[in-house]
Copies of this chain bind each other. A is one copy, B any other.
Amino acid sequence: MTQTPQRTAPIGVFDSGVGGLTVLHELLVGLPQEDFLYLGDSARFPYGDRSAPELRGFARENADILLARGVKLIVVACNSATSAAIDDLPLHVARSGHTVDVIGVVGPESNLAVARTRNGRVGVLATPATIASGAYERAVLAVDPLVRLTSVPCPRLARISQNGAPITEQDVELAREYCAPLREAGVDTVILGCTHYPFVGALLQRLLGPQVTLVTSGTAIVRRVGHALALRDLATPSEVEGRYSFLCTGDAAAFATIGSRFLQLPMGTVDHVALTQEAFA
């Protein structure tokens, strides 16, 4: 039996931890009337070193937890899970009897970057695992094979500033090193291909120059989700701000503390969810 989602249902968002909260932040600002349910799979954080089959399994379980709570759309706010599972997950959702769209990172920001570039030179900054997966290269070249993409793996960029510590001169030198190949290539558009990078957005903008457009996962996802809701006639009829809440597979208190720095809006409630039975509770 196919279950059609309700317009008043929340949008589900999942990530391996708190990083995806920068995407949720943009969604809360860009689609303020919608309700959201965020799942942080912090018990299995980080996803970076997991195999693709393992990540496909995690993504299915995360989706099941959200579907069991009646979400009307699923956002995969995680680069690793998107790279491994974005083709498999919609099939899994459909087979389990739900007509729910799945939107991941990578695709939306690649599309937006190609739409924005004027000189055809686009850069992407991401973790070494994301760059090695080739996901951005495939996505950008699928939209426009004539774009020249410069990919820079940034092993230490995600650590800067996310703990609330001031940015240091050493951080600036590190970021400068990552920006050097982009400056050399003359890119006019740069994808921030990791959910943690909005914390260093201003620093990167200063190093790259004001003529360069930065594209974050959050900005791109907001548009894509907005289109999807309009197309499916699933936008909420509410005119007041929506509610949002959190599930996490690990320590809920730690998630709330660290998460509030990433969300930059009140955290509301965080509930623990166990990974085995509760998915189908």
- Point out residues on A near B: beta carbons under 8 Å: 25, 28-32, 164, 166-169, 171-172, 202-203, 205-207, 209-210, 241, 260-261, 264-267
Contact = CB atoms under 8 A, between A and B. Distances in A.
B207 A241 contact: yes
Contacts of A203: 265
Given A164-B164, A166-B261, A207-B241, A202 B266 contact: no
A235 B266 CA distance: 42
6 contacts: A29-B202, A29-B205, A31-B210, A32-B209, A166-B261, A168-B266
Contact of A166 (B168, B205, B266): B266
A267 B150 CA distance: 31
Contacts of A28: 206
Given A266-B166, A267-B166, A207 B260 contact: no
A32 B266 contact: no
A195 to B, nearest CB: 16
Contacts of A264: 167, 202
A241 B207 CA distance: 7
Copies in the complex: 2
Contact of A206 (B29, B202, B206, B209): B29
Contacts of A164: 164
B166 A32 contact: no
Contact of A167 (B32, B166, B171, B266): B266
Given A25-B202, A166-B260, A202-B25, A30 B210 contact: yes
Contacts of A206: 28-29, 32, 241, 265
Nearest to A203: B265
Contacts of A210: 29-32
A264 to B, nearest CB: 6
A136 B266 CA distance: 31
- The list of the 5 closest CB pairs from A to B, nearest first, reads A166-B260, A32-B206, A29-B206, A29-B205, A30-B210
Contacts of A172: 265-266
Contacts of A241: 206-207
Contact of A266 (B30, B171, B207, B261): B171
A213 to B, nearest CB: 13
Contacts of A261: 166
B32 A207 contact: yes
Contacts of A202: 25, 29, 264-265
A205 B28 CA distance: 9
Given A164-B164, A167-B266, 18 more contacts: A28-B206, A29-B202, A29-B205, A29-B206, A32-B206, A32-B207, A32-B209, A32-B210, A166-B260, A166-B261, A166-B267, A171-B266, A172-B266, A202-B264, A203-B265, A206-B241, A206-B265, A207-B241
